[in-house]
Amino acid sequence: MPHLTPSDLYSLEQYARVRNDFRAKVMEHKKHRRVAIGDHAALYFEDALTMQYQIQEMLRIERIFEPEGIQEELDVYNPLIPDGCNWKATFMIEYSDVEERRAALARLIGVEKAVYVQVDGFERVHPIANEDLERETEGKTASVHFLRFELTSVMATAVKQGAKVLAGIDHPQYWAEVVVAGKVRDSLAADLD
């Protein structure tokens, strides 16, 4: 999947005009990019459209219109776009209660390495996690991690041909596994060459 360039982005003025419609399109798209794993964790799979939205929002909020600033945002977010042989996801640990979340983050150190995807008939694929920076300390993990799942070409072909895909977490303090269903599986298959 090609990276975004400045020509893929709306100017601030254009974005102000199309923002509501564009946002609605992206929110609908994101419905087919989320995989809940148990009650308190989810993978949000990224692609060019989700990253374009993120960049547009950052440019809007920060009022960035200079070419150098736009390029800086592209440089930050382009690495989160899958490149045809992998899936890239934001992994979130989700507890609404602050104290419950704090306790969970202390128990779940290393959880990002315990996340996996599995194409039917193949071994689990664990992610390369947090390539941008370390997101845990001795006492706790972060509630947000960035993951990259590298698939073999044979796995990618199987997914494109309709193979079942599982997503799960195999951590001593959190175990769950789900089948990636219908439209989400199809959306992920479209990320692959």
Domains along the sequence of the chain with CATH: 1-31+48-81 (no CATH), 84-193 (2.60.40)
- In angstroms, how far is CA 191 from the centroid of its own chain? 12
Per-residue pLDDT at 135: 64
Per-residue pLDDT at 130: 80
Per-residue pLDDT at 15: 97
Task: Give residue-wise pLDDT tens across range 67-104.
Answer: 999 999 999 999 999 999 999 999 999 999 999 999 99
Q: How many of the other CB atoms lie within 10 Å of CB of 186?
A: 14
Which region holds residue 110: left if phi is over 0, alpha if psi is between -120 and 50, else beta?
Answer: left
Residue 36 host element (H or E): strand 34-36
Extended beta strands in 112-180, E state: 115-119, 124-125, 128-129, 144-150, 165-171, 174-179
pLDDT band at 2 (very low <50, low <70, confident <90, very high): confident
